[in-house]
Amino acid sequence: MSAPVLHAVFGQPVAHSLSPYIHAAFAAQFGLAIDYRRIEAGPDDFAAALAAFATAAGRGANVTLPLKELAASLCAEVTPRARRAGSVNTLTRTSGGWAGDTTDGIGLLQDLGARHGVSPVGLRVLMIGAGGAARAAARALLDADVAALVIANRTPARAQRLVEALADPRASASAPDAVPGRFDLVVNASAAGHQGQPPAFAAAAMDSGSVAYDLSYGAAAAPFLALATSAGVRTALDGLGMLVEQAAASFALWHGHPPDTAPVYAGLRARLA
């Protein structure tokens, strides 16, 4: 019997990650043997940790906060969509080094549309945050034909740099205290929830016609979803479905098998409940 294929998720913090459970469940659908680990790494030690993982015969990895932009710079090659997003969340080992891709945007759109029936087409969208996950999500939403995308970040200059990278007339940057009006879809891509602090300014951007979506899940999403509920939104969603769908896209890249996400999502939702 061959040894399990080595995979991992890198991030900081990463102890809470559900990725090992998700990928084990996907592998079981096809009778595959994998060894999927959590590896704690910050920006200063990520390159060394990734090199050690490669030496240990690591074949594929996921990347989460705060490493997605840095991951792109460590790749020998990146896919066009990852290059356009300036963000990598999926690494595949090749003979030439690491190949980078991003499946975050795929996961977001699949969860919004297929699972929750929310089409981004023609929506006015507020994106809170300008990190790696925000970059991929912003690119995907523009490609899905939103009407307008406003990016608000606690450091306005970073939001402006993302807008310039997106190079799309529908995208604009805003300071948190100057967000213009209400939005059909408000996406929280910031890490504020990990510190228990929702972006309070977002409340004024939501009403009963809005959909609120946090890219995080569990405790990290709770502050923003509570804020959205108090603002009277019609739908408040966490990113658990996005997590499962982006993982499925990564799994298919590594193993060539698109997994069934429905039972895995249901199991995780019950587990979190």
**Residues 34, 75 share a domain:** yes
**Residues 131, 208 share a domain:** yes
**Residues 144, 96 share a domain:** no
**Residues 141, 31 share a domain:** no
- Per-residue pLDDT of the chain (273 residues), as tens digits, is 568 999 999 999 999 899 999 999 999 999 999 999 999 999 999 999 999 999 999 999 999 989 999 999 999 999 999 998 889 999 999 999 999 999 999 999 999 999 999 999 999 999 999 988 899 999 999 999 999 999 999 999 999 999 999 999 999 999 999 999 999 999 999 987 677 789 999 999 999 999 999 999 999 999 999 999 999 999 999 999 999 999 999 999 999 999 999 999 999 999 988
Residues with Cβ within 8 Å of residue 172, at least 6 apart in sequence: 148, 149, 150, 151, 163
**Residue 132, pLDDT score:** 83
End-to-end CA distance of the chain: 37
**Residues 187, 92 share a domain:** no
**Residues 208, 113 share a domain:** yes
**Residue 273, pLDDT score:** 83
Query: How many structural domains compose the chain?
Result: 2
Angstrom CA distances, 4 to 7, 177, 244, stand at: 9, 51, 22
Helix (H, G, I), strand (E, B) or coil at 89: coil
Using CA atoms, how far apart are residues 88 and 46, in angstroms rounded to an integer? 14
**Residues 224, 113 share a domain:** yes
**Residues 89, 202 share a domain:** no
**Residues 249, 221 share a domain:** no
**Domain of 252: which CATH number?**
3.40.50.10860
Using CA atoms, how far apart are residues 51 and 57, in angstroms rounded to an integer? 10
| Residue in the block written with tokens 């009963």 | 208
Q: Which residues are annotated as a binding site for shikimate?
A: 17-19, 64, 89, 104, 217, 246
Which range of residues forms the domain containing residue 183? Answer: 105-238
Instruction: Name beta bridge partners: 235.
Output: 211
**Residues 167, 136 share a domain:** yes
| 104 close to 71: Cβ distance less than 8 angstroms | no
**Residues 141, 167 share a domain:** yes
| 31 close to 156: Cβ distance less than 8 angstroms | no
Torsion (CA) 200, 202, 208, 209 in degrees, nearest 10: -170
Pairing of strands 5-11, 235-237: unpaired
Q: Which residues are annotated as a binding site for NADP(+)?
A: 129-133, 153-158, 215, 239
Angstrom CA distances, 187 to 20, 137, 210, 244, stand at: 26, 9, 11, 18
Using CA atoms, how far apart are residues 158 and 131, in angstroms rounded to an integer? 9
**Residue 1, pLDDT score:** 53
**Residue 80, pLDDT score:** 94
**Residues 140, 250 share a domain:** no
**Domain of 138: which CATH number?**
3.40.50.720
Structure tokens at 67: 């490493």
Active-site choice (7, 68, 124, 139): 68
Q: Which residues are annotated as a binding site?
A: 17-19, 64, 89, 104, 129-133, 153-158, 215, 217, 239, 246
Residue 68 designated active-site: yes
